[in-house]
A and B are shown apart, each in its own frame.
Chain A
Amino acid sequence: MASALINVPARAKRGQVIQIKTLMSHIMETGYRRTADGEVVPRDIITSFTCRYNGVEIFRADLFPAIAANPFITFFTIATESGKFDFEWIGDSGFSETASAPITVE
């Protein structure tokens, strides 16, 4: 039941600095923990996040085991043209989620 929460302003003025906020549902299991029986709990984390603005990559982040569950990633960009933001999260054991958000630039 993975899901993402995205906050992108619906409208912005050309040249305006806008804040983008993303929240992805993920357990971010470090791979360092053990069960009561001593078995290692296998690592299961998001390893990479990218954001494309009308197809052009504007933000990328690598994630590591020290990052808490349900990573909240926020960053700024300049609103240049109307279109959409595409977000992609990639992780261990084939984890892959995408989301997108439209923006109108006036």
Chain B
Amino acid sequence: MRPRAIIAAMLLIAAGIVASNLSATEIPQAERRSGFSFMTPDTKAMQNEDTANPGMLWVLDGEALWKSRTGTAGKACADCHNAARSSVSGVAARYPAFDKTLGRPVNLEQRINLCRARHQQATPLAYESRELLALTAFVAQQSRGTAIETGADPQLEPFIDKGRELFMQRQGQLNLNCANCHDDNWDKRLAGSAITQGHPTGYPLYRLEWQSLGSLQRRLRGCISGIRAQAYDYGAPELVALELYLMSRARGMPIETPAVRP
């Protein structure tokens, strides 16, 4: 009886190892945690107080840009949208969203640039420029506290699937996929830093390492370079698909923009 029991136990262990290798375990709803909860009390305090949160500097700039006229149409964002607090509140919690004209999802930065092109007849702002980050931060901040509902639109389904596929796709010289860290090892540390679950609840956010505000695409490109893979260009459909998957994965979590992260 005893050798049989040992063999049975070994088989069970082997089955467990095989199963965990085959499919990354997605994080159960109840165990999802914002990157905020992994931070030190000091960094949390920095995010929680608006006069200590450097991200608010961009929000202030964004508010000024929202009201200033630009482009050949001579219109300001506020001329169409009126008061941001009522008109764009909750919008960031639905992005990336499907654009009917383009037939694909666009993120908040791209939506702002589309608005500039279509309604203000203005030139697009460069990715990661102070202006684009400021406007995005200002718009997203109007949704602070709103639960993320990205992906409710059925037209987005194929793009979410594409994003999920990219999340699970091993790549780069280290041959890692996103899930290896952010689904399977989020409770551990990498070089002393918390790995976190990768829920994009606070973008654009102030990263102390960047000493600046930055977009989710900047973060994703950093991660992709980290696994020694070739990063997609800013605005690439692959990055938007990843953004879309990550936001739909964080559905129900409150927006924290502008968040602070180490």
Point out residues on A near B: beta carbons under 8 Å. 1, 3, 5-7, 21, 23, 25, 27-28, 68-70, 72, 74
- Residues of B207-260 contacting chain A, CB below 8 A: 208, 211-212
Asked if B212 and A69 make an inter-chain contact with CB atoms under 8 angstroms apart, the answer reads: yes
Asked if B50 and A5 make an inter-chain contact with CB atoms under 8 angstroms apart, the answer reads: yes
Asked if A1 and B52 make an inter-chain contact with CB atoms under 8 angstroms apart, the answer reads: no
Q: B51 contacts which of A1, A6, A69, A70 (Cβ < 8 Å)?
A: A6
Asked if A23 and B52 make an inter-chain contact with CB atoms under 8 angstroms apart, the answer reads: yes
Asked if B54 and A23 make an inter-chain contact with CB atoms under 8 angstroms apart, the answer reads: yes
Asked if A72 and B61 make an inter-chain contact with CB atoms under 8 angstroms apart, the answer reads: no
B170 CB-CB contact with A under 8 Å: no
Chain A residues, CB < 8 A from B130: 1
Asked if B211 and A21 make an inter-chain contact with CB atoms under 8 angstroms apart, the answer reads: no
Query: Interface size of B by Cβ–Cβ distance < 8 Å?
Result: 15
Chain B residues, CB < 8 A from A5: 50-52, 56-57, 60
B206 to chain A, nearest CB (A): 8
Give me 9 A-to-B residue pairs in the complex whose CB atoms sit less than 8 angstroms apart, sorted by A's number.
A3-B57, A5-B50, A5-B51, A21-B52, A25-B54, A28-B211, A68-B208, A69-B54, A69-B212
Chain B residues, CB < 8 A from A28: 211
Chain A residues, CB < 8 A from B60: 3, 5
Chain B residues, CB < 8 A from A74: 52
Please, how many angstroms separate the alpha-carbon atoms of A23 and B49 in the complex? Answer: 12
Please, how many angstroms separate the alpha-carbon atoms of A6 and B211 in the complex? Answer: 20
Chain A residues, CB < 8 A from B211: 27-28, 68-70
Asked if B54 and A70 make an inter-chain contact with CB atoms under 8 angstroms apart, the answer reads: yes
Across the two chains, which residue of chain B brings its CB closest to A22? B51
Chain A residues, CB < 8 A from B212: 69
Please, how many angstroms separate the alpha-carbon atoms of A3 and B56 in the complex? Answer: 10
A72 and B134 contact, Cβ closer than 8 Å, known pairs A1-B61, A3-B61, A28-B211 = no
Chain B residues, CB < 8 A from A69: 54, 211-212
Chain B residues, CB < 8 A from A1: 61, 64, 130, 134
Across the two chains, which residue of chain A brings its CB closest to B65? A1
Chain B residues, CB < 8 A from A70: 54, 57, 211
Please, how many angstroms separate the alpha-carbon atoms of A27 and B58 in the complex? Answer: 13
Chain A residues, CB < 8 A from B49: 7, 21
By Cβ-Cβ distance, the 5 closest A-B pairs, closest first, are A7-B51, A69-B211, A25-B57, A70-B54, A1-B61
A21 and B61 contact, Cβ closer than 8 Å, known pairs A1-B134, A28-B211, A69-B212 = no
Asked if B51 and A21 make an inter-chain contact with CB atoms under 8 angstroms apart, the answer reads: yes
- Residues of B170-224 contacting chain A, CB below 8 A: 208, 211-212
B43-77 vs A: 1/0 string, CB under 8 Å? 00000011110101100110010000000000000
Starting from the known contacts A23-B51, A28-B211, A69-B54, 13 additional A-B residue pairs (CB-CB under 8 Å) come to A1-B130, A3-B57, A3-B60, A5-B50, A5-B56, A5-B57, A6-B51, A7-B49, A21-B51, A23-B54, A23-B57, A70-B57, A72-B54
Residue of B51, B60, B64, B211 with highest tally of chain A CB at under 10 A = B51
